[in-house]
Structure 1
Amino acid sequence: MVEVFKTNVQRRGVANALVALLHNNFPGSRINFDLEDCDKVLRVEGDNFHPEKVMMLVNENGFQCHIMED
């Protein structure tokens, strides 16, 4: 399963911290940010993650996170 999220994360350090947090919650998933994209894309790929929890964890850290529509 692959899910792509639109965020408002701006800084690489913050993105790295969020990736580490998400890896702790969803081990084995591939997680990365594309901060060069205008939508500050967060991409999560794996078999054992829940998009709702990804959004909740990012939101709890003070950032917006929404599933990108096609």
Structure 2
Amino acid sequence: MSIILFVTNIQHSDLEMLGAVLGDIPGVVKWTIDLEDCDHVLRIVGNGVCSDMLQGKLNEAGFTCRRMLDS
């Protein structure tokens, strides 16, 4: 299981779309986003999920994001 963190431009109004995008990605177990943080940090917990692929899918959906940390 890995945890991937992204700095994003995601807003409250984007949550439904974000859920649909992440729900279609195999291996994503759980996700949360901290909209109170100035970086709108998206935390994704997954099994065998590639951070580059996640970033690509989020960018394709119109979100700006960059990886912070993999663990």
**Residue pairs, 1:1-70, within 5 angstroms:** 1-10=2-11, 12-69=12-69
Paired residue type of 1:7:
T
Q: Return 5+ residue gaps in structure 2 as ranges.
A: none
8 Å contact kept, 2:21–2:58: no
> What's the offset of the Cα at 1:15?
2.3
**Cα offsets for 1:24-48 (capped at 9, x unmatched):** 1135511121111110111001213
Take 1:15 and 1:8, find their aligned partners in 2: how far apart are those partners?
A: 11
Take 2:28 and 2:58, find their aligned partners in 1: how far apart are those partners?
A: 18
8 Å contact kept, 2:31–2:43: yes
Report which of the two has the higher share of strand.
Answer: 2
- CA 1:20–1:67: 2 relative to 1, 3 Å: same
Q: Return 5+ residue gaps in structure 1 as ranges.
A: none
**Percent identity at matched positions?**
34
> What's the offset of the Cα at 1:20?
2.3
Instruction: Pick which of 32-41 and 14-23 moved more.
Output: 14-23
